[in-house]
Amino acid sequence: MDTVFIRELRADAVIGVYDWERSIRQTLVLDLEMAWDNRPAAAGDTIGRALDYAAVSGRVIEYIEGSSYQLLETLAENLAALVLSEFGVPWLRLRLCKPGAVQQARDVGVLIERGARPA
């Protein structure tokens, strides 16, 4: 199986458990790897049979920027479910980071895999 990926996608969200976090927007960074059979798109050289990473990116940004969660874990689970269902992706690996959340670290976050990875 092939992989379509998006790296370092940025979107602003209300995210966090502290009162001060609930009153601001913070930039989140997302990496996404999605299983997809690229052969049909390559054979016809057409976007209609490809996993449109621009469409996925736009939808993910729209969802994140319209969200308000306390935990990255909740947002990551809901993003994974969205991509799996709306884009027909059989498997994905999603890395969601919150830069600056721990002063001594570049970023912190979660890494999840959902769906069944095709052989």
Mention every residue, 6+ apart, whose C-beta is less than 8 A from residue 94: 30, 31, 32, 33, 76, 79, 80, 83, 111, 112, 113, 114
CA distance 17 to 44: 48
Q: Which one from 35, 76, 98, 109 is the annotated catalytic residue?
A: 98
- Find the DSSP H helices in the chain: 19-22, 39-44, 53-65, 72-87
Whether 27 is catalytic is no
CA distance 115 to 102: 30
Q: Are 32 and 93 in contact (CB under 8 A)?
A: yes
Q: Provide the annotated active-site residues.
A: 98
